[in-house]
Amino acid sequence: MAETKKTTIVLFSGDYDKAMAAYIIANGAAAYDHEVTIFHTFWGLNALRKDEPIQTKKGFMEKMFGKMMPRGADKMGLSKMNFAGMGPKMIKGVMKKHNAMPLPDLIEMAQEQGVKLVACTMTMDLLGLQQEELLDGLDYAGVAAYLADAEEGNVNLFI
């Protein structure tokens, strides 16, 4: 019997286009029966935020970060040609035209395919993000759990 292949992605970036690339690779790998983990850290956590404001108790700095960072996948900017938000509109326009899945749908698909979505607890602390602000069905872990997955991985990417 063939061993299950493993794919891990560290999603560090908070850019719409980079997160799209991460989720397209993850969904592809899951379709080929890989065990796939996306470990969201730093700005990559923003892809997992719910889009509505959530009441939480936070310190001043944590509130500031919470306000300045995009609330969820659909609000993220582009790594190139962002043009103060025009770029994402253009990209989403051509994506619709070509029937490409927008990022929130890619994330939902990943969850349905059993891709393990992990939120890095250490950077959640730093950026003041709390579990209630993030999507349901996530795992919460640190770098040790990531390394345990990655050292058995066939494809390990940092995006």
Residues 19-58 binding its own copies (CB under 8 A) are 21, 24-25, 28-29, 32, 34, 41-43
Q: Of 110, 138, 126, 133, whose CA–CA distance to 19 is shortest?
A: 110
Shortest spacing between CB 126 and its own copies, in angstroms? 5
| Site size for its own copies (CB under 8 A) | 55
CA 83 to chain centre: 22
Q: Binding segment for its own copies among 8-16, 47-55, 108-116, 130-138 (CB under 8 A)?
A: 8-16
Say how far residue 89 (Cα) sits from the centre of its chain: 20
Report the alpha-carbon distance of residue 35 to residue 101 in Å, rounded. 22
Stretch (H or E) spanning 90: helix 86-97
Q: Work out which of 12, 47, 66, 119 binds its own copies, going by CB under 8 A.
A: 12
Q: Which stretch binds its own copies (CB under 8 A): 48-56, 107-115, 124-132, 133-141?
A: 124-132
Residue whose tokens read 């058995």: 152
Q: Is 101 in the site for its own copies (CB under 8 A)?
A: no
Choose, by CB under 8 A, the member of 84, 94, 109, 138 that binds its own copies.
Answer: 94
d(Cα 129, Cα 45) in Å, to the nearest integer?
9
In eight-state DSSP terms, residue 78 is: -
Specify the amino acid at residue 152. Answer: E
Name the site residues for its own copies (rule: CB under 8 A). 5, 7, 10, 12-14, 17-18, 21, 24-25, 28-29, 32, 34, 41-43, 59, 61-62, 64-65, 68-69, 79-81, 90-91, 93-95, 97-98, 100, 122, 125-128, 143-144, 146-147, 150-159
